[in-house]
Amino acid sequence: MKTQTVIVTGASSGIGKEVARYFLQRGDNVVINSSTADKLETAFKELGGGSHLAMVAGNISDKKTGEKLVATAVEKFGSADVLVNNAGIFETKPFLEVDEAYLDRFLNTNLKGTYFTTQAVIPQMLKQHSGVVINIGTPLVHHALAGVPITAPMSSKGAIHSLTLQLAAEFGKDNIRVNTIAPGTIRTPMHGDDADNTAGLHLLNRIGEVEDVAEMVYTVAKSNFITGAIINVDGGAGAGHNIS
């Protein structure tokens, strides 16, 4: 299997860190990012450092961070084959209490971060005439929950799903594939210790683990004919709930 250079945003924690580990363990080159430099350095060490790993700290809503990620991938490893737009934030707040600054936080990190980091990598992928962009969405954009007030994060994640299809259409002729993976509740620091309380939202009656998502990110990266797809890795949560 061809060795790839993989950029993973938000890789100091949770899903992103496991995605980085998954590719590294299988012989690929990985460039990791997150906005907090010391958290990223800790993850870098935890992942073993080494010649197949590089890091770029920075806020992904600033396009310069994406440009540095791509420059690092090309300088150190010679290509930028896969971008995993994983960095993201999620919080709850009732709709009528959301002000512009709060909404902007989600649009900036989740939507603009994904948008501009992709804009930074596509010129390199065009030069290579190949590349894969994998966004991290959520089945909740098509499956609302009355008791969980998340209009701000869902507005940003819904836009990522739409962006996925449009980018896949615009760059398909250039052999650049663009997909979204939509996880159910995954055990990460994002949900603290209460995550298992949502087990019943999933037909499998359990929450997911970071490895469940990393495995699918890897599969999509290594495939050749998947593009414009929204792939749920959600234990069936998008289909129904395990409630008795």
Ligand X SMILES: NC(=O)c1ccc[n+]([C@@H]2O[C@H](COP(=O)([O-])OP(=O)(O)OC[C@H]3O[C@@H](n4cnc5c(N)ncnc54)[C@H](OP(=O)(O)O)[C@@H]3O)[C@@H](O)[C@H]2O)c1
Per CB under 6 A, 12 contacts ligand X: yes
Q: Cα(128)–Cα(210) distance, rounded to whole angstroms?
A: 30
Q: How far is CA 226 from the centre of its chain?
A: 17
Residue 79 touches ligand X, criterion: CB under 6 A: no
109 binds ligand X (CB under 6 A): yes
Q: Which stretch binds ligand X (CB under 6 A): 116-124, 126-134, 169-177, 187-195?
A: 187-195
* 164 binding ligand X? (CB under 6 A): no
Interacting span for ligand X (CB under 6 A) from 8-16, 122-130, 163-171, 220-228: 8-16
Q: Is 190 in the site for ligand X (CB under 6 A)?
A: yes
3-state secondary structure 11-61: CCCHHHHHHHHHHHHCCCEEEEEECCHHHHHHHHHHCCCCCCEEEEECCCC
Type of residue numbered 160: I
Question: In angstroms, what CA-CA distances link 49 with 36, 40, 55, 242?
Answer: 17, 11, 9, 41
Q: Is 61 in the site for ligand X (CB under 6 A)?
A: yes
* Binding piece for ligand X, criterion CB under 6 A, among 45-53, 84-92, 216-224, 235-243: 84-92
Residue closer to ligand X by CB (options 107, 176) is: 107
Least Å from the CB of residue 64 to ligand X: 12
Please identify, using beta-carbon distances, which residue of 174 and 241 lies nearer to ligand X. Answer: 241
The rounded distance, in Å, linking the Cα atoms of 70 and 121 is 6
- Identified binder of ligand X from the candidate list 19, 132, 133, 186, rule CB under 6 A: 186
* Amino acid of residue 10: G
> Using the rule CB under 6 A, is 10 a contact of ligand X?
yes
Each residue 14-53 as x (binds ligand X by CB under 6 A) or -, in order, gives xxx----------------xxxx--x--------------
* DSSP class of 88: -
How many residues touch ligand X under the rule CB under 6 A: the total is 32
Q: Is residue 226 part of the contact set for ligand X (CB under 6 A)?
A: no
The residue among 16 and 131 lying less far from ligand X, judged by its C-beta, is: 16
Structure-token pair, residue 75: 């300088």
Tell me the residue type at 82: V
For residue 130, which of 217, 221, 28, 216 has the smallest C-alpha distance?
221
**Cα–Cα distance list, 186 to 106, 116, 139, 225 (Å):** 19, 26, 12, 27
List of residues contacting ligand X (CB under 6 A): 9-16, 33-36, 39, 59-61, 86-90, 109, 113, 136, 138, 183, 185-186, 188-191
